[in-house]
Structure 1
Amino acid sequence: MMTTCPPLAVQELITEVADGGIDTVVMALVDMQGRLQGKRFHGRYFVDEVLANGSEASNYLLAVDVDMNPVPGYRIASWATGYGDFTMLPDLTTLRRVPWQPGTAMLLADTVGPGDAGHVAPAPRQILRQQIDRLAAHSLTSYAGTELEFLLYRESYEDAQRRSYRNLTPATGYNVDYSLLGTARVEPLLRRIRNEMAGAGLTPESAKGECNFGQFEIAFRWADALTTADQHTIYKNGVKEIAEQEGMSITFMAKPNQREGNSCHIHFSVRDADGTAAIPGDGPGHLSVTGQRISAGLLATMADFSLFYAPHINSYKRYAPGSFAPTAIRWGDDNRTCALRVAGHGTGVRLENRVPGADVNPHLAIAAMIAGAVHGLEHKLTLEAESIGNAYADKSAPRVPATLRDALARWEASDVVLTAFGAEVAAHYANNARVELAAFDAAVTDWEVARGFERL
């Protein structure tokens, strides 16, 4: 029977390092793209030195593009400042075993600047913590769950790269949404993922097929906002390592081909000081007054915060007409055509943000949702009427920005972005978007070559 292993206690780590059961400790920070970056330490060195003092890492880790190229425009790190170090401080509450890497434990780290500079403001975990604190000022605690889809291919990452990511073999050859027969052929891999994530302290619930060829979703139990975001990044990194060990590859691109994209629906709820669910109630959509204000805040900030919900060029390709990636910024009770869906029943009523894709940084996306909730609470916003039927057909509905360029324009013009995240974070992530846009604008795509090589 599968059981979820508890977090690894520090004394257990010390004992197992001494006994030789654990010889490697991985410490990682979450970068702007939601990836894990860090070091693998010899177990004894980690226990003797890093546990108490942390470890240095180049501050360029929060000032690079997707290809790890240092790029200009960031205040925290540049050629002018010499690309110095910040300190990675271990967060011992995240310490866990790594079943897919024998003899290995891992934990996440927070980034601290030199001297008395304190936490690095643009670090994703710090951004999320700031929003958690803002919500706590309203005597509320946030909880979240992420539903992360991926495409699985029979080729390894190395083989996929050699093929220039063309003509890859999906793990299934037809739509296997909810199909037990269609997913059985990859159940050995899915089973390994479920069990080894449980061994790492996550709580897997289920695995199912999805619509695109080779598409799957593995769901995990909800938790407090920071825990969910942390576990999301650990899972996303770990599942790629497990797939590679099996000679396969996984992509979390939002739109990897012309068929259905990979989503990351985020379920969101809050509890008051005594632990009571604060979103359910007797109002529209089974929402309380608090739930209505939070929902109105999420809707009011959806477009301005889309840089955190859809952070890449490819993110916006997922918003295809007639798909389950809604662009209409409306809410509906159990309505998947709305950007904000009220899901669940009874005390389990919660809000589902259907805008993010699987390429999202969970710390930033959940931070944006909390910031939207705070905006609705502080301004006592009134919730608009529920959208009935196909919200996409509502031509009066405001829309999610159509491109990253549009999202950047909304972000830079938004007062609520500055209020919620501060000028340093706002400028940092605006620069990140500009870097991606400049790289894309300079690229000559396969589409352009096929379109113009002979015909033009």
Structure 2
Amino acid sequence: MSTPTHQAYERLRADADAGRIDEVIVAVPDLQGRLQGSRLSVDHFLGEAAQDGFGACVYLLASDVEMGTGPGYAIDAWNSGFGDFLLRPDPATLRTLPWDDRTALVLADTEWPAGHEEAGRPVGIAPRHVLRTQLDRLADHGLTAFAGTELEFLVFTDTYRDAWDRRYHALEPATRYNVDYALQGLGTLEPVVRRIRREMVRAGLTMETARAECHPGQYEIVFRYDEAMTTCDHHVLFKNGAKQIAAQEGVALTFMPKYDEGEGNSCHIHLSLRGTDGTPVLADPAADDGMSDLMRHFVAGQLACLPDFALLMAPNINSYKRLQPGAFAPTGITWGRDNRTCPVRVVGSGASLRIEHRVPGGDANPYLAVAAAVAAGLHGIENRLPLPAPHAANALADPDVPRLPTTLTEALHRWETSETAAKVFGETVVGHYAQAARTELAAFETAVTDWERVRGFERL
């Protein structure tokens, strides 16, 4: 059987012939940033799917966490008969999975199939395409984006099955107290995070740092920055693989922004720009603050768009439990130089000068969050927005700082009424992700919580 002409596919054929790989997962990131897909034999993948695409149900990009779908999305799965779109594998993302025996994984883009009125065109609301559209806009300005994501997670000694059976109550964290930067007290935590670190490196990610964090059982692994799309691809691979490794180790981990009243799980996004020739463009050694005019406009755009684009960075009800006073997460709209109390922190110098976006939590879809930051920066650049003075004090305690949206309802309203969002993302994308937020809100509004039972069972 012939092999499609691409170096990655040639390596896959060699690995298959040597008995090292016998399955390929073709996966697409969904609205939540989760990987959804199917396992294919190597022969079927190389013989058909790699060249012709692979069918998958359209509802994968129009469903909530429970895989529920319905009217209101740009893709109406019910009224279109739950048909397929095509998954087009991206050979640059092909890699073997150390935690999944003799298995490779490739990420795919989505396009409409033959017979569809938009046959051959990308599915515009797909998260990867939303990001690619913003990166293409950036390229029109002679710029390219580099990003890094810093994900935190909580590890519990309970299995996922036990956690489910107990409705996620009274779980035992893998550390007993605050172990931020600690090199001891990690005996229960270290075995699983060590395996995660090592197997992610074997899967092709480049680890930079790793350490325990504040909340009992909390840990952070930071991988090296890369071109923005590659970083987002690595991000979703990491989240998926870390959960699988945890399950194999008999423990459970979560990236949810706010598991309890303690410190939440963040996903700080570092973002810098370069010219398409690789030249850094954010720094200006001649400026008093070392920032170029382009960077000032770029940062100003972040501040201008934060209220309207918050939905793409904080997409769930739980997201806003983290963005509250006293949670060491941003609550206002301001920026500062190396100031972790601000949502936009400017850090580094010279070629490493960049922003750190501190709004997203561990639930953020990286493609959408990075797309939002790039689009906001372009808004500032294109409109030459002036940058206010940096915030030097504690922005979390300053009542004069304008506030971020405090609930998903508020973020949804800002998003779907935003002229800027409609202009840069298009009305279809705005409407689709607004429906995702409405679906999340509707599900929560019909649920009865433990808080309500404790408050009202006996005393009301």
* Structure 1 and Structure 2 fold alike (TM over 0.5): yes
Alignment equivalent of 1:246, drawn from 246, 249, 270: 249
1:108-119 correspondence to structure 2 within 5 Å: 108-115=107-114, 116-119=119-122
In structure 1, the residue corresponding to 2:167 is in which secondary structure? coil
Q: Find the counterpart in structure 2 of residue 275 from structure 1.
A: 278
**Ranges of 4+ aligned residues in structure 1 off by more than 3 Å:** 282-285
Partners of 1:26 and 1:253 lie apart in 2 by: 25
* Matched residue SS, 2:186: helix
Deviation at 1:75, TM superposition (A): 2.7
1:103 and 2:106 equivalent?
no
CA RMSD across the alignment: 1.3
Q: Structure 2: 5+ residue runs without aligned partners? A: 1-5
Q: Which of the numbers 171, 174, 177 marks the counterpart of 1:174?
A: 177
Give the equivalent residue in structure 2 for 1:3: none
Q: In the aligned structure 2, how far is the partner of 1:414 from the partner of 1:346?
A: 35
Q: In 1, Cα distance between the equivalents of 2:58 and 2:45?
A: 21
Alignment partners' CA distance in 1, 2:203 and 2:376: 32
Deviation at 1:19, TM superposition (A): 2.5
Specify the alignment match of 1:129 in structure 2: 132
Alignment-derived partner of residue 83 in structure 2: 84
1:81/1:404 Cα in 2 relative to 1: closer, same or farther (>3 Å)? Answer: same
Once residues 272 and 442 of structure 1 are traced to their aligned partners in structure 2, the CA distance between those partners, rounded to angstroms, is 49
Question: Structure 1 residue 325: deviation in Å?
Answer: 0.5
Query: Which residue type is aligned with residue 433 of structure 2?
Result: Y
Residues 139-189 of structure 1, C-alpha deviations (whole Å, 9 max, x = no match): 000010000000000111111101110011100000000001023442222
Whether the 8 Å contact between 1:8 and 1:97 is mirrored in structure 2 is no
Matches of 1:206 and 1:345, distance apart in 2 = 20
Does 2:239 align with 1:226? Answer: no
Q: In structure 2, what is the equivalent of residue 262 of structure 1?
A: 265
Deviations 1:397-450 (A, max 9, x none): 221100000000100111000011001100000000001111111111111111
> Which amino acid in structure 2 is aligned with residue 195 of structure 1?
R
The percent of aligned pairs where both chains have the same amino acid is 52
SS in 2 for 1:322: coil
3-state DSSP class of the match of 2:185? Answer: helix
Contact map agreement 2:23 2:39 (CA 8 A) in 1? yes
Q: What SS does the aligned partner of 2:107 have?
A: strand
Structure 1 residue 71, shift from structure 2 partner? 2.4
Aligned-partner Cα distance in 2 for 1:443–1:306: 24
Q: In structure 2, how many angstroms separate the alpha carbons of the residues matched to 1:60 and 1:273?
A: 36
Aligned counterpart, 1:188 = 191
Q: Structure 1: which 5+ runs fail to align?
A: 1-6
Matched, 1:405 2:391: no
**Deviation (angstroms), 1:44:** 1.9
| 1:200 and 2:203 aligned | yes
**What letter corresponds to residue 65 of structure 2 in structure 1?**
V
Q: Contact 1:96 / 1:105 at 8 angstroms: preserved in 2?
A: yes
Please state if 1:65 is matched with 2:68: no
Match of 2:339 among 332, 335, 339: 335
Contact 1:147 1:220 in 2 (8 A): yes
The question of whether the paired residues in 2 share the 8 Å contact of 1:285 and 1:342 is answered with: no
Once the two structures are TM-superposed, the CA of residue 329 in structure 1 deviates from its matched residue by 0.8
Q: Which amino acid aligns with 1:360?
A: A
Tell me the SS of whatever aligns to 1:369: helix
Query: Where does residue 4 of structure 1 map in the other structure?
Result: none
